[in-house]
Amino acid sequence: MYSDTVIDHFKNPRNVGELEDPDGVGEVGNPVCGDMVRITIKVEGDRLAEVRFKTFGCGAAVASGSMGTEMAKGKTLEEAYSITNRDVAEALGGLPPEKMHCSNLAADGIRAAIDDYRARRGGSPSAGKEVG
């Protein structure tokens, strides 16, 4: 049902917690299942120097938060903003169809944190980007 990568990221999640005095915060939830994630970021230059997550959700949501933050860390804001739920699911080795919505949490949370960072700096939140 779950790949070894999903199980590893669930049992040994990376980047768990919350950054003190973050540069951006993204909180998103999924109305289908009630899962929620909070992503906090630190930005240095144009890169995500640190990314942390806290989640209230199932194993797939935990694994997605772990993988999504690993994928985003060190990336430029634009590179991190372009991470999609499909990217997260593929990096995890796939998710069962009924759990694909969990991968949205990480990708959406990262974009929300970047939007918050940009808004705090007086910029346009999504910088006009459409993400699929």
Considering the candidates 3, 5, 7, 33, report the single residue annotated as catalytic. 33
Taking the C-alpha atoms of residue 5 and residue 19, their distance in angstroms, rounded to an integer, is 25
Asked if residues 125 and 115 have their Cβ atoms less than 8 Å apart, the reply is yes
Domain boundary assignment for the chain: 4-120
Specify the pLDDT at position 132.
Answer: 44
What's the CATH fold of domain 4-120?
A: Sufe protein. Chain: A (3.90.1010)
Specify the pLDDT at position 99.
Answer: 86
pLDDT tens-place string over residues 38-96: 999 999 999 999 999 999 988 999 999 999 999 999 999 999 999 999 999 999 999 98
Question: What mean pLDDT comes out for the span 10-30?
Answer: 95
Average confidence score pLDDT of the chain: 91
pTM over 0.85: yes
Considering the candidates 80, 88, 102, 110, report the single residue annotated as catalytic. 102
pLDDT greater at residue 129 or residue 19: 19
Asked if residues 61 and 50 have their Cβ atoms less than 8 Å apart, the reply is no
33 a catalytic residue: yes
58 a catalytic residue: no
